[in-house]
Amino acid sequence: MSEQKQRCGYIAIVGRPNVGKSTLLNHILGMKLSITSRKPQTTRHQILGVKTTGNTQFIYVDTPGIHQRRNTAINKYMNRAATSVLGDVDLVLFVVQARQWTDEDKAIVEKLKAVNSPIVLVINKIDKLESKKQLLPMINELSPLLDFSEVIPVSALNGINVEAIEKTVAALLPENTFFYPEDQVTDRSMRFLAAEIIREKLIRELGQELPYTSTVNIDRYDEDRDIVRIHATIFVESKGQKSIIIGKKGARLKSIGTSAREDISKMIDSRVYLNLWVKVREGWSNDERALRGLGYSE
């Protein structure tokens, strides 16, 4: 009896901040795995999203936006986390934004010149275009920049043409037996994902008010019979930031906590008790040792 050959491989999703990489991953997986926001530099770590269909297992790696702000230790960490995958994957999805070609995109093209695996150019946010005609000049301009296997315009938010990516990827993946059990979705722990959800609510609630200097640490994650009890600390860099997050009579922190608790509860399908603290740790984002202690290590 002949066995049907399995395909399996790693697909890096890379691009500058805010182009929609995490939104794309979530759409492909059909679930909210990676946090997203209108603010650039939302994703800070590599996150695996595994999808198994039929005889193919796709192992996507969402990455932080590759950027030019190399001033702090955390910015350097994020660029490393994104670029270090490039040598290790079977395929790269280079995500750009329709009609928003910037110097940061150009710098990524330079990095991709050293990559040996196939590269697919994904032009995202086409729903924002007034007319489809606006796409063609961009496709013509970008296609010659690298030897792309394919150029695919999509809207990750609305799911327009995302299947075309999956089809292209499936055809390019190597023959391999599956690396992960078929029902596994990620390599990340619930503890990690809970911290990410809290961070997302923090970013979304505070928008431009919060400088890019907060992080979340899960102090305790206890699973009881019918409830999960989570104690988490939000670290910021100054007293001023702390009081912004706490808000008037604690209203802000409460609302961040409520929406985080709801999302965590949905994700783990359990009742959740969430206790949030805010603490000041000056200079954590530019201190290699503090960063490692807060989970920023390869």
Ligand X SMILES: Nc1nc2c(ncn2[C@@H]2O[C@H](COP(=O)(O)OP(=O)(O)OP(=O)(O)O)[C@@H](O)[C@H]2O)c(=O)[nH]1
CA distance 239 to 298: 30
- Interaction between residue 155 and ligand X (CB under 6 A): yes
Compute the least distance from the CB of residue 62 to Mg ion, in Å: 6
Residue 174 · residue 55 · CB < 8 Å: no
CA distance 118 to 249: 54
- Interaction between residue 41 and ligand X (CB under 6 A): yes
CA distance 165 to 150: 9
Which does residue 155 touch among ligand X, Mg ion, none (CB within 5 to 8 A, set by kind)? ligand X
- Interaction between residue 17 and ligand X (CB under 6 A): yes
Which does residue 18 touch among ligand X, Mg ion, none (CB within 5 to 8 A, set by kind)? ligand X
Burial class of residue 146, CB neighbours in 10 A (0-12, 13-18, 19+): middle
Which does residue 216 touch among ligand X, Mg ion, none (CB within 5 to 8 A, set by kind)? none
Compute the least distance from the CB of residue 239 to Mg ion, in Å: 30
- Interaction between residue 79 and Mg ion (CB under 5 A): no
Tally of helices (H runs) and strands (E runs) in the chain: 9, 9
Write the binding mask 35 to 74 for Mg ion: x where contact by CB under 5 A, - elsewhere.
Answer: -------xx-------------------------------
Compute the least distance from the CB of residue 19 to ligand X, in Å: 4
9 is written with which tokens? 């491989």
Alpha carbon 257 to its chain's center: 21
Task: Write the CB contacts of 128 (distance below 8 Å, at least 6 apart in sequence).
Answer: 98, 99
What Rg do the C-alpha atoms of the chain give, in angstroms?
20
Which residue's C-beta sits nearest to ligand X? 65
Scanning 41-49, 161-169, 191-199, 225-233 for contacts with ligand X by CB under 6 A, the matching segment is: 41-49
207 pairs with which residues across the strands? none
Residue 232 · residue 194 · CB < 8 Å: yes
- Interaction between residue 213 and Mg ion (CB under 5 A): no
Write the binding mask 93 to 132 for ligand X: x where contact by CB under 6 A, - elsewhere.
Answer: -------------------------------xx-xx----
CA distance 283 to 78: 17
**In the window 53-92, what residues touch ligand X (CB under 6 A)?**
64-65
Residue ranges in contact with Mg ion by CB under 5 A: 21-22, 42-43
Binding site for ligand X (CB under 6 A): 15, 17-23, 36-38, 40-43, 64-65, 124-125, 127-128, 155-157
